[in-house]
Amino acid sequence: MAMPSKTRILLGISGGIAAYKGVEVLRGLQREGAEVRVAMTAAAQKFIQPLTFEALSGHPVYTRLFPDAGDPDIVHVKLGEWPELILIAPATANVIAKMANGLADDLLTCTLLSSEAPVMVAPAMETAMYRHPAAQRNLQRLADMGYRLIGPEDGALASGRSGLGRLADPERIVAEAVSSAVTFGDLSGRKILVTGGRTEEDIDPVRFITNRSTGKMGYAVARRARQRGADVVLVSGPADLDQPAGVEFIRVRTVSEMRAATESAFEGADALVMTAAVLDFRPRVVSDAKIKKNANGLTLDLVANEDFLVGLGARKNGRIVVGFAMETENGLPNARKKLDEKHLDLIVLNDLNESGAGFGVDTNVVTLIDGDEAEPLPKMSKLEVADRILDWVIDRWTQTPRP
Ligand code: CTP
């Protein structure tokens, strides 16, 4: 699919030997019909002159945080509002570290902080730097913030060595930017309610039961729905993740809190995507005082929590309702049963036996089940899974009139 013409892309170039490949990225994006502006760090300008990018983009290159005296515009604020996509290629270890920590000491990093546009990052560095725990932690941080990473790849490096850390091929960078750009705005005017994270139920003032969900899947759905233009409400149980930008965020802890928040937001929503790991049981009695240690042990008496997705599915009234099924055996029949019993339009089967699926990892292996159709998807990032679910929802809307 081609990129919508005149897609506004801010290309950030940081200071590595691969900076010259920014030229190929720029030309590739222009070939695809994008309107590209370029911002360079000071170090990038040591490797390649801004004039090159200025001539090719037909616009001045952004390099300075502080405008000339008498210029009333605050450059980074205006620049942050302009793009529909920010692409940093190449991204050095230093710029990645700054982004991961919210540092803003030059025009590029300041613009990143003041922009709500989706961000794609193509790292380029020596293998040892790439493998360093600090760099890995920073890259993970970016992924958690919803930034898309492209590469790096294995190959020849600036030092003459060969290894992991080489900037992804410019053609691949352009292709990934294009595939991200085709979805811009396709959810605008829609309200999407997402639940995510785990839930907790108290035993006494110091102990509770919970489950192993980290919230990554739900946060990915909320993030991508927002980036694709939807108004998004995220009802989240506990999750150690950064809140997605531009999303109305409602923090809950117990199942009854999640139920109340989800039911009230459901009224104004066009679709519900229920990724939250809702506890099926809670202690019958919550002790006011800490339960003392006892040589005979302790038997917990658990009662069933209400499955509020069933109730929401039953009164969806034209809304699309998507559920998740987490299974360890008989995945397909179990998921189909939940699809019917909970009156869902789509159920996303998550088979915990697959490697790269389930809790805590950034990838997932799922099957999309709708009626008699079951589409198994290959292992992909949770952001990509989120896109496939949202693609399905949009597809359904194009087939049925708006509620
Ligand atoms: N769900 C819910 N309320 C519950 C339990 C689950 O709303 N008390 C929702 C989940 O958010 C998910 C779907 O129902 O979208 C399926 O959850 P899952 O845990 O896979 O299944 P359960 O219905 O709980 O069945 P079981 O635990 O027996 O597999």
**Is residue 211 flagged as an active site residue?**
yes
340 CA from centroid of ligand 1 (Å): 13
Whether ligand 1 lies within 6 angstroms of the CB of 280 is answered as yes
Residue 59 has pLDDT above 70, yes or no: yes
Nearest atom (ligand 1) to Cα of 310: 7
289 CA from centroid of ligand 1 (Å): 31
CA–CA distance, 260 with 265 (Å, rounded to integer): 9
Whether ligand 1 lies within 6 angstroms of the CB of 272 is answered as no
Q: Give the mutation target among 326, 340, 352, 369 for probing the ligand 1 site: most ligand atoms within 8 A of CB.
A: 326
The C-alpha R_g of the chain, in whole angstroms, comes to 24
Cα 236 to chain center, whole Å? 15
Question: Would you state the pLDDT for residue 241?
Answer: 87
pLDDT tens profile 117-161: 889 999 999 999 999 999 999 999 998 888 889 999 999 888 888
Whether ligand 1 lies within 6 angstroms of the CB of 338 is answered as yes
CA–CA distance, 137 with 63 (Å, rounded to integer): 28
CA–CA distance, 182 with 205 (Å, rounded to integer): 50
- Band the pLDDT of 302: cuts 50, 70, 90: very high
How buried is 295 (Cβ within 10 angstroms: 0-12 exposed, 13-18 middle, 19+ buried)?
A: exposed
CA–CA distance, 258 with 276 (Å, rounded to integer): 9
CA–CA distance, 10 with 29 (Å, rounded to integer): 11
Return the sign of the alpha-carbon dihedral for residues 354, 135, 95, 247. Answer: positive
Whether ligand 1 lies within 6 angstroms of the CB of 57 is answered as no
Return the sign of the alpha-carbon dihedral for residues 337, 331, 283, 273. Answer: negative
Whether ligand 1 lies within 6 angstroms of the CB of 341 is answered as no
Whether ligand 1 lies within 6 angstroms of the CB of 263 is answered as no
390 CA from centroid of ligand 1 (Å): 20
The DSSP secondary-structure symbol of 386 reads H
- Band the pLDDT of 298: cuts 50, 70, 90: very high
Q: Which two tokens stand for residue 103?
A: 């540092």
Number of H helices, E strands in the chain: 14, 21
CA–CA distance, 328 with 350 (Å, rounded to integer): 9
Whether ligand 1 lies within 6 angstroms of the CB of 278 is answered as yes
- DSSP β-ladder status, 271-274 and 208-209: unpaired
CA–CA distance, 228 with 49 (Å, rounded to integer): 34
* Least confident interval from 97-101, 329-333, 355-359: 355-359
Quote the crossing angle between the two packed helices 170-181 and 22-31, to the nearest 10°: 40
Residue 403 has pLDDT above 60, yes or no: no
- Whether residue 324 contacts residue 274, with contact meaning beta carbons closer than 8 Å, is answered with yes
Give me the chain's average pLDDT, please: 92
Question: Would you state the pLDDT for residue 2?
Answer: 62
Residue 370 has pLDDT above 60, yes or no: yes
263 CA from centroid of ligand 1 (Å): 16
Q: Which two tokens stand for residue 296?
A: 């005979």
- Whether residue 25 contacts residue 36, with contact meaning beta carbons closer than 8 Å, is answered with no
Q: Which two tokens stand for residue 283?
A: 């202690």
Residue 317 has pLDDT above 80, yes or no: yes
- Whether residue 371 contacts residue 345, with contact meaning beta carbons closer than 8 Å, is answered with no
Report yes or no on whether pTM surpasses 0.85. no
Question: Would you state the pLDDT for residue 71?
Answer: 62
371 CA from centroid of ligand 1 (Å): 18
- Among candidate residues 211, 294, 334, 350, the one labeled active-site is 211
* pLDDT over 90, % of the chain: 73
pLDDT tens profile 282-294: 999 999 999 999 9
Residue 399 has pLDDT above 90, yes or no: no
Residue having the nearest C-alpha atom to atom 18 of ligand 1:
325
261 CA from centroid of ligand 1 (Å): 17
Name the nearest CA neighbour of 223 among 386, 385, 99: 386
